[in-house]
Structure 1
Amino acid sequence: MNGAFYVGAVGLDAQQRALDTLSNNIANINTPSFKRSDVRFSAVLAVRSSPDTPAPDLDTQFSVAGVQAKSVPSIDEPGQIDRSGSPMDIAIDGHGFIELLGPNGQTYLWRGGHLKLGKDGILESASGGFPLKAMVSVPADASSISIAADGTVSATTEDHPQGTEIGRIEVVKSEDIDGLVALDGGFYRVDDAGSLRTMEPGLPGTGTLVQGALERGNVDLTTEMVSLLLVQRAYAANAQVIQAADQMAGIANGLKR
């Protein structure tokens, strides 16, 4: 059977994956702390000769059978910080993550967002309800809380009207950014907790915490729309490859002996 059918089909699948990634970026343009994903294409090679037979060069052993697409989040690219005015909002101005306790003891990373008081007054993410790994407990009689740039959390109570320190939120960095798994809600799962380093906020390469603010998603609508148009044209081109192969097969089947 004509190999053009398979090449075109692989191309259609790759462009569909790219289209899904770009659509997801655009749909989450207003999602706090959202990180856009880039689409990376790589050639798919098909073996033409026996693997046991040495070949003088690549061209005699392999042939390009199409492309495949892979979605890679741009996790290390910060977004713009917008003031929200809510004391329960937090953002990281710069690089780094906040550690959360995921289900079954897993370590989740978070770029910040809305906070809420969970069980026993523990600060946790409003989305998902994952407690901060720092386990900051807010007193029941606290009238307000403040979060300093270095992560120090203070609460104002009747006994301490000037505020008293109740915990500290640390900023961590991952040695293996590519190893992070993006989850729904702006969370990232890290399978190797040993790759995390606790950093002092404000040091070179480390962000600072900003209370009453949210990080905007790092999606540029103009760039995404241009990429979307390019993917649509590439998808149409691959469809034409299949159409041309079908026409050639029809001509071959119609030949008279």
Structure 2
Amino acid sequence: MYKLATLLGAFKYEFLMQVRRPWLWITMGLIQLIILGFMFRTPGVIPMIQHLKNAPLLATTAYWTNIVNYLLPVAVAILIADRLPRDKRTHVGEILTTLPGSSAARLWGKYLGSTLATLLPILIFYSVGILVIFVQTLNAEVFLFSIATFATIILPGMLLVGAAATALPAIIWVPLFQFLFVGYWFWGNLYKPRGIPTLSNTLLTPAGGYMSRGFFGVTVFPVDQANALQGIESMLLLLGLAALIMLALHGYQKWQLHRQ
């Protein structure tokens, strides 16, 4: 019970700290404007939006989910990357080690709080798109479809991105991690294999192509074929890898503490 209270306390603190950062909203807003700019400059997009009622509703919802997940995970990683180094720089981490409570619970609270807070602007942006689809189709099923697509396509990968952005800056310089992650995202998620080895067509891509193609039959990511079983496998791999990263980070922190 005390561990749960520690986790919830850390979660609330990290969530509020992150959601109050102006750069969270500025960065997300700029990338969302870039996404909309690319959309509306693409020929045929505006007429398509005006005639959404003629398109399959589930496929339309999944496409919108894919678009939201195309670039915004990069912003999530960049905005979370400084959370642990900031604690070290301000000596907050040293103070927390003197307090009662589980260090693992505090770490998980930090990870979940900062990750879900960073997802809040994405959820708002996503919901606006879902409302546009509803206005065009007048079919309330879009709200159920949106929950399913968000939970399966976006959320597992974002949890992995949040875990990586929490853990890796503990061992490498934050700007270096941010630079490398941007390169990784384009190479490992958006690059269609053309002779250069890439992770973009494997089950380990957090962009969610396997879940989108396997569960809903469509994707904008370079996954040409996938079935529901592969979608489940990809989702479980992403969530399992996120948990392993956080367990490894906790072990690394305990090792550092024993060395001091």
Same fold (TM over 0.5): no
TM-score (norm 1): 0.23
Answer with 1 or 2: which has the greater Rg.
Answer: 1
Which structure features the higher share of strand residues? Answer: 1
Which structure features the higher share of helix residues? Answer: 2
TM-score (norm 2): 0.23
